[in-house]
C-alpha cells in the first residue's frame, strides 16, 4: 500500500526500537561481528568461501549436539528419561542439518576445489576435536586419536576426559542394570577408554525389552532414540563419503588419510550393535 504521494508506507510499528546506542541489539547479542569475520579465504578461488562456511556451520551444529548429548547422558544417569528423550530427539534433528549441509557443498565441482585445495595444507576435517568428542560421547573410543590434538592442551585434556568416561550407550546399559535387568558385569564396569564390544548377554536384555514393551516402554523408547541417533550419524558419514568421492574421487585426503577408502571404514562400525542385531530375532 502506498500513500497519495507515491511513497511506500513505513513498516516500522509504534513501539519498535530503533535507537540502539546504549542498548544490546541482535548483532551484539549473537556476536555477529566476530562470527562473520571468521571466514578468511587463503586464495582468490570463489568457492573457498563456500568450503569454509559449510565447515564452520557444521562445527556450530556439533557444538550444540555435544551440549544436547551431555544433557542426555546426565538424564540417563539420573534415571530421568523424559528430558533425555528430548535431548536425543534434538540431536537427531541437528544431524539432519549436518546431512543437508553436504548437499550444498556438493555443488562444488572438482575444478572448483582444486583451485584452492593447496591452500588447505595438511588441515582436514578428520582433525576436528568437536567431531572426535561427538564420536567419543557415542562410544567410538580410540586412545590413538588423542595424538593429533596434543598440540592443543585444552582440547587434548577434554578429549581424554571423554575417552575415559562412560559413553551414552555405556550409561544406557548401566541404567538397565540399575533397573534389575541382567546386563553382564563386564559391560557396566570396565575400561571406558575402549569401545563397547557386541555382547550376547546385552542383546538378550534388549530383546526382553522389545518383546515386552508394555512393561519396559520407557527403556524401549530409549532404545529407539539411540537407534535414531546412530541412523542419522551413519547417514551423515555416508553423505560425507559420497561428497568427497564426488569432488576428489579416490585421491589421498589433505590430512594424509586414504580419503574415500578411509571414510568407508567408518560405515562398518556401529555404536549400539545389539540394537541393530536384535531386529533379525524379533
**Can you say which residues are annotated as belonging to the binding site for substrate?**
51-55, 113, 117, 254
Q: How many Å apart are CA 45 and CA 168, to the nearest integer?
A: 42
List Cβ neighbours of 66 (8 Å cut-off, separation of 6 or more).
Answer: 130, 133, 134, 137
Question: Which residues line the annotated binding site?
Answer: 51-55, 113, 117, 240, 254
User: Which cell numbers in the block locate residue 162?
Assistant: 571423554
Question: Which residues line the annotated binding site for heme?
Answer: 240
Report whether 88 contacts 76 (CB < 8 A): no
Q: How many Å apart are CA 282 and CA 209, to the nearest integer?
A: 11
Q: Around Cβ 274, how many Cβ atoms within 10 Å?
A: 22
Q: How many Å apart are CA 152 and CA 63, to the nearest integer?
A: 18
> In sequence order, what are the beta bridge partners of 8?
2
User: Which cell numbers in the block locate residue 66?
Assistant: 555435544
Amino acid at each position: 500500500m502506498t500513500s497519495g504521494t507515491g511513497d511506500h508506507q513505513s513498516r516500522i510499528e509504534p513501539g519498535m526500537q530503533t535507537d540502539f546506542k546504549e542498548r544490546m541489539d541482535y548483532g551484539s547479542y549473537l556476536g555477529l561481528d566476530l562470527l562473520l569475520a571468521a571466514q578468511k579465504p587463503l586464495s582468490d578461488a570463489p568457492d573457498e568461501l563456500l568450503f569454509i562456511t559449510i565447515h564452520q556451520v557444521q562445527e556450530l551444529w556439533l557444538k550444540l549436539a555435544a551440549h544436547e548429548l551431555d544433557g542426555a547422558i546426565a538424564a540417563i544417569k539420573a534415571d530421568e528419561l523424559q528430558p533425555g528423550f528430548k535431548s536425543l530427539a534434538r540431536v537427531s534433528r541437528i544431524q539432519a542439518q549436518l546431512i543437508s549441509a553436504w548437499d550444498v557443498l556438493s555443488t562444488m565441482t572438482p575444478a572448483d576445489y582444486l583451485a584452492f585445495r593447496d591452500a588447505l595444507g595438511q588441515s582436514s576435517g578428520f582433525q576436528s576435536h568437536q567431531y572426535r568428542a561427538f564420536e567419543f560421547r557415542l562410544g567410538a573410543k580410540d586412545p590413538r586419536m588423542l595424538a593429533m590434538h596434543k598440540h592443543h592442551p585444552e582440547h587434548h585434556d577434554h578429549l581424554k576426559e571423554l575417552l575415559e568416561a562412560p559413553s551414552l550407550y555405556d550409561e544406557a546399559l548401566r541404567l538397565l542394570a540399575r533397573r534389575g535387568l541382567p546386563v553382564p558385569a563386564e559391560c557396566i564396569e570396565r575400561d571406558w577408554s575402549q569401545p563397547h564390544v557386541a555382547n550376547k548377554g546385552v542383546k538378550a536384555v534388549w530383546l526382553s525389552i522389545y518383546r515386552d514393551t508394555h512393561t519396559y516402554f520407557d527403556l524401549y523408547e530409549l532404545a529407539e532414540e539411540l537407534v535414531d541417533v546412530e541412523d542419522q550419524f551413519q547417514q551423515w558419514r555416508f553423505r560425507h563419503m559420497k561428497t568427497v568421492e564426488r569432488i576428489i574421487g579416490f585421491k589421498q585426503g589433505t590430512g594424509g588419510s586414504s580419503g574415500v577408502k578411509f571414510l568407508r571404514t567408518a560405515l562398518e562400525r556401529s555404536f549400539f550393535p545389539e540394537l541393530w542385531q536384535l531386529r533379525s530375532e524379533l
